[in-house]
Chains A and B, each alone.
Chain A
């Protein structure tokens, strides 16, 4: 009997070990992560551009998704974009869901490349796999979200969602009563860091005393872990939360305590109508339509596309039902200034956590600097693991 027990114990330990390694695997991958040096790649990678692609009358289009379209966030919005593109162009696209950012992705993209003309790979972690396949299939066009590597037949696209994070910060700064705002960040990578910083700057612009406490969940999509993180922030005393995550778990946890909260990627008000703040949203449809149409008339070129509030790729979800009119007005005013260019989120003076000046008065961060951000602004409580 003893032997059976030890065998069982060994199995349990093996499983626990597998979980540890699986956990590590998850944390090193990232789905919507952005590149540290997107800007520099833009300068070198696409100098010549890949013009001269023959026009394809009815291109066969495929999308590769990191999660299920029902995630209510990241993949949900990409799928909405696909539907919009299908309506506008009359072209039916194929989709593959739940594709892990591993060798599996390369296999699936390779299979798709054999009978498709355009492939959208909608997660940062697909970058190298997409590039590998792009080299093998020079006639197929690849579009990769949030990355920084390109080829003659591979372009990238993303957007300045930090503009919307700044606006969310204004709402959060006005709504907090204890001057403590919680931020659930997925990974300490530039994409999340510049959104967090923009959020904190937005909050401080209307409430100089507001502090933002950040917690890293080390996952893009794990509702139970995100919930733990949110509850920890609420326990610490935060009364407004924002989650740069793909699930609405934070909003649900905050609603149970009567705190305001926002999520990411799409309008998440349906998860807690009375406690919804707002959050940045994506609108990929027009871009997907543009790409498909440019392939149809033969004008597609490899590019590093960066959308923003102005072109509509980045948006802000309607403010929650319980947010007062004067706060809505403040957000609207700032949005108008961002749209006409009189407001720059990362214009100086900006100090880092230690108080040292990072951006001086009269200067502003370049896109390259923003996309490589690895420091937190003053008033943010938390650290970036080195």
Chain B
């Protein structure tokens, strides 16, 4: 039992950046734009927040800067995919390569420096001593609580409001949405930018909360896992919550199995998250064969009014 609760606590800790990035990705894709630049944007968010936090000591400024930089990257992605109708996948890959390289360059002077102060925690002292709940929720940081709220909020917005209906319409059939009077191009710009901001903040969360030292390429593939999680969660924010924690648990499961004493070499245990990604995608593909994938119908296709493609 203890093992499970501790694993769950570790899952929430390492799943939070994944969750925030996945939510950003869902916003992008619900609007019909594929975002494969996640890894690069996360790294840029992380390095900007690190630079600002170390220079100014202000957490707010650090987050604002991370949001600003990732918004700029989101705008570039939107301009390429919405206005220029460039291939989403190639643009996204370019964003990842660009973000990886630039963040490594910018982060050089601060690499290995400790953060001035940890992110404030929400201490729910009345939960202390309560089994399970107390161990999981009594001393979480503000980012984690914000990510819970965000997942619920986005779920309600997408599935329970007319605003969400418009968003889904845009992703499924932009021509119809346009006829309905939704300004497709403008809205896509907005959603891609908002999604990128969340992805950038996921990077900031990874750096400020989870691993408070900048080092080159510190996301170590988490951006790609977040992209896979979108499909995993079938574009649903609440399911994204579960999937992110599932992967968070896998992330630390390898070490825990090692400590329990097992004959499996640690090299294999280290592959668990990546192997499971492949297996789950295969399983989902097999189970949903012949059925709609749950993805936005117009995902990845550009839309220009009165043009056939």
Chain A residues engaging chain B, CB cutoff 8 angstroms: 1-2, 4-5, 7-9, 11-13, 15-17, 19-20, 22-24, 27, 68, 70-73, 76, 98, 188, 213, 215-218, 221-225, 227-229, 231-233, 235-236, 247-249, 252, 256, 270-271, 381-383, 385-386
Contacts and interface: CB of A to CB of B under 8 A. Distances in A.
Contact of A71 (B112, B252, B256, B277): B112
Contacts of B36: 8, 11
11 contacts: A8-B231, A9-B231, A16-B228, A19-B274, A70-B110, A213-B259, A215-B255, A223-B215, A228-B252, A231-B252, A235-B10
From DSSP, what is the main secondary structure of chain A's interface residues? Answer: helix
Contacts of A20: 271, 274-275
Interface string B161-197: 0000000000000000000000000000000000000
From DSSP, what is the main secondary structure of chain B's interface residues? Answer: helix
B36 to A, nearest CB: 7
B215 A228 contact: no
Contacts of B227: 12, 15
A232 B275 contact: no
Contact of A19 (B221, B252, B256, B300): B221
Most buried by A among B14, B36, B112: B112
Nearest to A235: B6
A39 B268 CA distance: 32
B281 A12 contact: yes
B299 A17 contact: no
Interface of B: 6, 10, 13-14, 34, 36, 89, 93, 108-114, 118, 206, 210-213, 215-216, 218, 220-221, 224-225, 227-228, 231, 251-252, 255-256, 258-259, 261, 265-267, 270-271, 274-275, 277-278, 281, 285, 293, 295, 297-301
Contact of A1 (B231, B251, B297): B297
Contact of A224 (B218, B231, B256): B218
Contacts of A236: 259
Contacts of B118: 256
Nearest to B89: A11
Given A70-B111, A71-B111, A247-B215, A1 B301 contact: yes
A228 B270 CA distance: 11
B51 to A, nearest CB: 13
B208 to A, nearest CB: 12
A151 B46 CA distance: 45
B277 A16 contact: yes
A216 B266 contact: yes
Given A7-B89, A224-B220, A231-B10, A271 B275 contact: no
A218 B270 contact: yes
Contacts of B6: 235
A16 to B, nearest CB: 5
Nearest to A185: B266
B301 A4 contact: yes
B242 to A, nearest CB: 19
A171 B257 CA distance: 28
Contacts of A11: 36, 89, 93
B278 A13 contact: yes
Given A4-B300, A19-B224, A224-B218, A27 B114 contact: no
B290 to A, nearest CB: 11
A232 B255 contact: yes
Contact of A9 (B114, B216, B285): B285
Given A19-B221, A223-B218, A271-B114, A232 B213 contact: no
Contact of B299 (A1, A27, A215, A223): A1
A251 to B, nearest CB: 9
Contacts of B281: 9, 12-13, 16
A122 B261 CA distance: 34
